[in-house]
């Protein structure tokens, strides 16, 4: 069976994956872009946005794993758009006309709508479903390939709680946000189910990888 994988999911030292005050012009609230600067500096990111250059070290090596072997993504409503997007029937997501997914994307929302086909291979589908149900649908769409779990934090928590995540890459950034949405709440003893590795890199971040013992 294919894996469910989390990649490049960045949190602060105090565990926040997004700050407070999320809005259309502030998708990570008061965190701004600080949780993702490590990624913007990599060759992975430079190439994704059509440029050149960028660092080719450990941060890059982790970052590139985001793409290969993935053929569907599941994301929460908060990653698709800012609070209230469900009220706009023509809204097409926060990721532009050519979103960086290039696969089917399953958006979890209690107010589903018809699918939207975007340029570059991304099609948004909208599901009001439990984690187990959503994963079943996404796995069928992915065929033999893996499914990416795109976040946000509360969605990842829900899937971890159900024991559905096979591989998780979390990047801890040395800042303290103080408020926002925490990744780790309610996950006592998660280490029982995962092999965990920690690797700090010269940029100052620490990459944490969780590999399910059941795999």
Binding site for its own copies (CB under 8 A): 13-15, 172, 174-179, 184-191, 196-200, 204-206, 208
Least separation in angstroms between CB 15 and its own copies: 6
Least separation in angstroms between CB 39 and its own copies: 16
CB closer to its own copies, 78 vs 180: 180
CB closer to its own copies, 155 vs 177: 177
CB closer to its own copies, 52 vs 189: 189
Q: Which residue has the tokens 């796995």?
A: 139
CB closer to its own copies, 16 vs 106: 16
Least separation in angstroms between CB 190 and its own copies: 4
Least separation in angstroms between CB 174 and its own copies: 4
């Amino acid at each position: 069976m294919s894996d469910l994988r989390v990649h490049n999911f960045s949190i602060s030292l105090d565990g926040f994956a997004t700050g407070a005050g999320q809005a259309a012009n502030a998708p990570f609230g008061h965190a701004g872009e600080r949780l993702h600067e490590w990624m913007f500096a990599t060759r992975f990111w430079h190439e994704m946005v059509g440029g050149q250059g960028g660092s080719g070290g450990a941060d890059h090596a982790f970052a590139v794993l985001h793409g290969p072997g993935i053929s569907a993504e599941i994301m929460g409503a908060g990653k698709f758009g800012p609070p209230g997007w469900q009220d706009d029937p023509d809204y097409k997501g926060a990721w532009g006309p050519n979103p960086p997914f290039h696969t089917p994307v399953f958006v979890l929302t209690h107010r589903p709508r018809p699918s939207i086909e975007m340029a570059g291979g991304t099609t948004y589908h909208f599901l009001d479903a439990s984690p187990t149900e959503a994963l079943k649908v996404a796995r069928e769409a992915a065929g033999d390939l893996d499914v990416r779990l795109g976040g946000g934090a509360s969605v990842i928590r829900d899937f971890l709680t159900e024991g559905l995540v096979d591989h998780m890459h979390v990047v801890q950034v040395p800042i303290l946000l103080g408020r926002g949405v925490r990744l780790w709440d309610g996950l006592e003893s998660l280490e029982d189910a995962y092999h965990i590795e920690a690797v700090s890199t010269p940029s100052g971040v620490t990459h944490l990888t969780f590999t399910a013992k059941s795999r």
